[in-house]
Amino acid sequence: MTREHYGQELNDLRSSVVAMASMVDKAVNNAVVALVQRDVAIAQQVVADDRAINEHRWRTEEQALLVIATQAPMAKDLRMIAAVIHIVTDLERMADHAAGIAKIALQTADQSPLKPLVDIPRMSEIARSMLHDAITAFIEDDEASARAIVSRDDMVDALYEQIYRELLTFMLADPTTIDQATHLLWVAHNLERIADRVTNICERVVFAATGQLEELAVSTY
């Protein structure tokens, strides 16, 4: 087959995306673990690791631009590279949200929990599984799977809604809980945004596979 070196460069780009997604998944998981377990060390590590994720994003983007400049990619190759540039941007923003959750974990570590955290870990679990499946769809160039993931964002939105109402109830009943409740609301908001970013990734997977740019889901928030 001709253009073996070029083919390898395209594979390297895909691998870069997978590697970055793995870093982001770990960040999201550890941020919520740090919050639930009030673990300062884990939270600090998530904040520190965000820098490495940012640098990975820039390196991947440079890699993509280099392939464009030197190999003149066309058609599906060009669409895949364009998708990579957008996907690593979304992944970097997801990592920022994870770092935001970790910072809240640091701020609230010495406070007694307002309530057992059940829905927040559940939101995290769904968002992470969406991310895993979206990256798999990207690697396998699977339009149908990418489209199917988007409906799970509704579950994340529903949990966010539930958390909001529950925390509102706490705040109305006892204003001294406002500070803690607000922090938890921000955590839920960050997770909701993470799931939304995954739907963006799904849109780019569909684009890479079909050449069609379309909005797969409209965010409620």
Partner 1 sequence: MSVTLDERAIKSGVNDAGAVVSLHDLRVFYGNFLAVTGVTFDVPKHQITALIGPSGCGKSTVLRCINRMNDLIPGARVEGQILYHGQDICSDQVDPVEVRRHIGMVFQKPNPFPKSIYENIAWGAKINGITGNMDELVERSLRQAALWDEVKDKLQESGLALSGGQQQRLCIARTLAINPDVILMDEPASALDPISTLKIEDLMRELERQYTIVVVTHNLQQAARVSDQTIFFSLDEHRHGVLVEAGRTRDMFTNPRDQRTEDYITGRFG
Q: Where along the sequence are the contacts to partner 1 (CB under 8 A)?
A: 1-3, 6, 72-79, 210-211
| Rounded Cα–Cα distance for residues 155 and 124 (Å) | 11
Pair 214, 206: CB distance under 8 Å: yes
| Rounded Cα–Cα distance for residues 190 and 194 (Å) | 6
Compute the least distance from the CB of residue 203 to partner 1, in Å: 16
Smaller CB separation from partner 1, 6 or 170: 6
Smaller CB separation from partner 1, 81 or 202: 81
Question: What is the secondary structure of 104-122 as a DSSP string?
Answer: HHHHHTTSPPSS---HHHH
Compute the least distance from the CB of residue 12 to partner 1, in Å: 17
Compute the least distance from the CB of residue 1 to partner 1, in Å: 4
Placement of tokens 């809240």 in the chain:
104
Compute the least distance from the CB of residue 166 to partner 1, in Å: 47
Smaller CB separation from partner 1, 138 or 160: 138
Smaller CB separation from partner 1, 131 or 208: 208
- What is Dmax (Cα atoms) for the chain? 70
Compute the least distance from the CB of residue 17 to partner 1, in Å: 20
Smaller CB separation from partner 1, 72 or 158: 72
Helix ranges (DSSP H) in the chain: 4-37, 40-71, 75-108, 119-139, 143-149, 152-173, 178-210
Tell me the three state secondary structure of residue 38: coil
